Each structure stands twice: as C-alpha cells, then as structure tokens.
Structure 1
Amino acid sequence: MLITATELKSNLGKYLMLARTEDIYITRNGKIVAKLSNPQQDKIDVAKSLFGVLPADMTLEEAREERLNQI
C-alpha cells in the first residue's frame, strides 16, 4: 500500500493495524521515503517457505552433511 506522510499522520492507528498484514510505503513529494512493516511477518514468510524443502526420508544431519560436501 502506498500512502502520503500526511495521510499517515492523520490516521496512524489505522495504518499500524494494517501493517500487521501488509507493507505500507510512505511517500513525501511523490517519492517513497519509508516503509512500515511487521518485523515478525518476515520471519513467518521465511519459515513457511522452508516447509517441504527436505525430503521426508532425510534427517537434518544428513542434509547438513550433504550441503557441506557440495562446498
């Protein structure tokens, strides 16, 4: 979502609530100057992206060993 700095000042509470679920970009004079986001959301997205990465029959130790052998 893209909003102006004036809009943010006028409705800070609203945008703090919205920042829980989406990034909010704040503009001044038509240029993006800041981003309001949920720091926990980044961790959740990374964790979700890792589900299913390892085959079900491979242990974490086996995966580490395989990765180290590739280097």
Structure 2
Amino acid sequence: MRVNATEFKTRVGKYLELVDKEEIIITKNGREVAKLIPAKKEGTPNADFLYGILSDYPDKNITAEQIREERIRNKYN
C-alpha cells in the first residue's frame, strides 16, 4: 500500500494496524521515502531477495555460496 506522508502522520494508528497485513510505502511529493514493515516478519527482506534470484533453479537446496555466485554473475553479465 502507498500512502503520502501527510496522510500517514494524520492516521498513523490506522497504518500501524494495517502493517501486519501488508507493507506500507510512505511517499513525499510523489517520491518513495520510507517503507513500514512488520517488526516480526519471518525471514528478512534481504534473504528473500537473494533466494528470489534463484527461484528458477530446480534444486531448492541451495547454499549461500551458490546465491552469492549467482548474484555476482547477474551483476557483471
């Protein structure tokens, strides 16, 4: 969900309740400035991203080293 900074400040309590269901992107002058995410979320956004780059791999038992190598390969190719 996207919400502008003025709306967020006015109704912060509402968005603190909604954040358990979805991430809240806060904008200012149409530009994203912050992201509100639940404090107790399973996993981490960084780890989710890293595993996401290997989502096409048939072998789901991958290591951190394989993720790192794939990320480097994607960046420099």
Give TM-score, length-normalised by structure 2: 0.53
User: What stretches of structure 1 move > 2 A for 4+ residues in a row?
Assistant: none
Unpaired segments ≥5 residues, structure 2 = 48-59, 64-77
Q: Which of these two proteins has the greater Rg computed from alpha carbons? A: 1
Unpaired segments ≥5 residues, structure 1 = 47-52, 55-66
Equivalent pairs counted in the alignment come to: 48
In proportion to residue count, which structure has more helix? 1
CA-based RMSD of the aligned residues comes to 2.2
Give TM-score, length-normalised by structure 1: 0.58
SS class of match (1:9): helix
Indicate the percent of aligned positions where both proteins have the same amino acid. 42
